[in-house]
Structure 1
Amino acid sequence: MIKAVYLFAMLSFALVSCQTEKNVKKYPATVGDIEFDKTLDDADFKRCGSKQWGHFSFQYYQGAKEFSYKGEKIAITEKLKKENIYSEKKINGYITVRFLVNCEGKTGLFRLQHMSPDLKDTVLGEELENKILKFTKSLDGWMPKEIKGLQVDYYQYLTYKIENGKVSEVLP
């Protein structure tokens, strides 16, 4: 009887251990990591970093705080004014484009989030979203970052404020 209880306990422990490991692996290494998606992402975009670290990318709260674009945010704002991105629909809200800048200053892994003026998930219009995504992808002044002597990948985001169908402001 004791052997049966011992065997049951060992098997239960092994089963729980296997389940725990599966759950841990389904979560990204860092909250908010963007996983490659062959339907959305450019296969030629390469992450940098040590394979030993598992292609670790820095978040804004991990030392990648400065806005690293040639000409700063004002250069993006001026380029946006020239593009005159708008929608025929008089929609309001926010579109955030989040992406990765690699150690060469190249961008990839773009993701969009849409929000109403009261910051609730919403759809603002595919045409406007596509224009904003195309504009964001065209920005080629992102500068590589170095943290503690290492060239690193880092996440960046731009939030576009939409008023009456027109981009009125770029945040942050």
Structure 2
Amino acid sequence: MKTIKSYSFFCLIIILATCSISCEKLPNEETYIPTENAFTADAHYINPETALLSDGFEVCDENFILQYYNPERATYSKGKNGLRNFILSNYKNNNYTDAGYLNIRFVINCKGEAGRYVIHENNLELEPITFTEGLKDQLFELTTQLQEWNPNFVRGAYRDTYMYISYRIEHGNITEILP
């Protein structure tokens, strides 16, 4: 029994150490010194000049947009089930045979508005593919209709956040919606 408690304590220490190492500092902290292109060089960055539906969309702090994995993250106002119900009740499989992941990445600003969309298409082995235009257009249109988001609230303020929705497609049917 003592071994299990020791092991549990050890695991907790490792988790806490990992979390403290990986935590990001916000730009307004005294020790934060951004490097040139610090935010545009990250893998999650969405270029507003090439993203879809960027015109008129504004973020609150262009120099700091939180990543997907923050402990408090932006959520759809009607919850995960509300999002799933909206998509599944409005999606029509028009004899599509596509299979893979249609990933739509975007930004939710501090006001809870969505914009700056990017589409990534992969087969079930995560290799790049191209989905049927009708399927892709339909899921993009439905995703952009999800406009009521709860923005990320971190350290006393609402923050801009990157978000994604990943649709797993098999034989043209949505089999899973992530996250």
Taking structure 2 as the reference length, what is the TM-score of the superposition? 0.72
Counterpart-to-counterpart distance in 1, 2:74 and 2:56: 25
8 A contact 1:100–1:107 mirrored in 2: yes
Structure 1 residue 120, shift from structure 2 partner: 0.8
% identical aligned pairs: 26
For residue 59 of structure 1, what is the aligned residue in structure 2?
Answer: 67
SS for the counterpart of 1:129 is helix
Q: Which residue of 1 aligns with 2:97?
A: 90
**Which whole-Å CA distance do the structure 2 matches of 1:39 and 1:156 have between them?**
14
Tell me the residue number matched to 2:83. 76
Runs of at least 4 residues of structure 1 off by over 4 A?
24-27
Q: Which residue of 1 aligns with 2:44?
A: 32
Displacement after TM superposition at 1:146 (Å)? 1.5
Is 1:163 aligned with 2:170?
yes
Query: Aligned Cα RMSD in Å?
Result: 2.1
Letter paired with 2:177: V
Contact 1:102 1:154 survives alignment (8 Å): yes
- Once residues 107 and 93 of structure 2 are traced to their aligned partners in structure 1, the CA distance between those partners, rounded to angstroms, is 25
* Distance in 1 (alpha carbons) for counterparts of 2:93 and 2:124: 17
Aligned residue in 2 for 1:133: 140
TM-score for both structures, normalised by structure 1: 0.75
Unaligned 5+ residue runs, structure 1? 1-23
Higher Cα radius of gyration: 1
Distance 1:156 1:25, change over 3 A: closer
* AA in 2 matched with 1:114: E
Structure 2 unmatched runs, 5+: 1-35
SS at match of 1:58: coil
Which whole-Å CA distance do the structure 1 matches of 2:51 and 2:77 have between them? 30
Aligned residues, how many? 144
CA distance in 2: counterparts of 1:91 and 1:166, whole angstroms: 8
Letter in 2 for 1:28: T
Structure 1 residue aligned with 2:28? none
